[in-house]
Chains A and B, each alone.
Chain A
Amino acid sequence: MMLKRLMLLVAGALSLVPLSPAHADQLQDIKKKGELACGVLGTDEPFSFIQDPASRALVGYDVDLCNAVAKSLGVKLTLKQLAVSARLPELQQGRVDLLAASLTHNKEREALIDFSLSTFITGQKVLVKKQSGITRLDQLAGKKVLTVKGSTMEQNIKKAVPTAVIISFDNSPQAFLALQQGKGVAYVNDETSLIDDFSKLGPVAKDYEILPHNLSTEHLALGLKKGEPAFREQVNKVLRDLEATGEAEKLFTRWFGPTTKMKFPSRPFKLETDKID
Chain B
Amino acid sequence: MNSFDVSLLLSGQYHDWLVSGFALSIKLALITLVIALPLALLVAVLRLAPLAVLRAVGVVFVEAIRNVPLLAHMLFWYFGAPEVLPEPLKAWLYERDVEAASAVIALVLYTAAYMSEDIRSGIRSIPKEQMEASRALGFSFLGAMRLVILPQALRLTVPPLISQTLNLWKNTSIAMVIGVAELMYQAQQVESASFRGFESFAFATGAYLTISLAITGASAWYHHHHPVRSA
Where the two chains meet, the residues of A that have a C-beta atom closer than 8 Å to any C-beta of B are 144, 146, 149-151, 154-155, 167-170, 174, 177-178, 181-183
Contacts and interface: CB of A to CB of B under 8 A. Distances in A.
Contact of A150 (B90, B94, B191): B191
A182 B98 CA distance: 11
Interface of B: 79, 82-83, 90-91, 94-95, 98-99, 177-179, 185, 188-189, 191-193
A154 B91 contact: no
**Would you call the interface of chain B mostly helix, strand, loop, or mixed?**
helix
Contacts of A182: 90-91, 94
B188 A169 contact: no
Contact of B177 (A146, A150, A170, A183): A170
A183 B189 contact: no
B99 A167 contact: yes
Contacts of A149: 185, 188-189, 192
B91 to A, nearest CB: 7
A156 B189 CA distance: 13
A170 B192 CA distance: 13
A234 B178 CA distance: 53
A155 B188 contact: no
A234 to B, nearest CB: 42
Contacts of B79: 174, 177-178, 181
Nearest to B75: A174
Given A170-B177, A178-B79, A181-B83, A154 B189 contact: yes
B188 A183 contact: no
Contact of A169 (B82, B95, B177): B177
Nearest to A168: B179
Nearest to A149: B188
21 contacts: A144-B95, A149-B185, A149-B192, A150-B188, A150-B191, A150-B192, A154-B189, A154-B192, A154-B193, A167-B99, A167-B179, A168-B185, A174-B79, A177-B79, A178-B179, A181-B94, A182-B90, A182-B91, A183-B94, A183-B98, A183-B99
A151 B94 CA distance: 24
Nearest to B99: A167
Given A144-B95, A177-B79, A181-B83, 16 more contacts: A146-B179, A149-B188, A149-B189, A149-B192, A154-B189, A167-B179, A168-B185, A168-B189, A169-B177, A169-B178, A181-B79, A181-B82, A181-B94, A182-B90, A182-B91, A182-B94
Nearest to A146: B179
B110 to A, nearest CB: 20
A203 B95 CA distance: 26
Contacts of B191: 150
Nearest to B91: A182
Cβ-closest 8 pairs across A and B: A150-B192, A167-B179, A183-B94, A182-B94, A169-B179, A168-B179, A170-B177, A183-B98
Contacts of B90: 182
A201 to B, nearest CB: 17
Contacts of B99: 167, 183
Contacts of A155: 193
B141 to A, nearest CB: 44
Contacts of B95: 144
Contacts of A170: 177
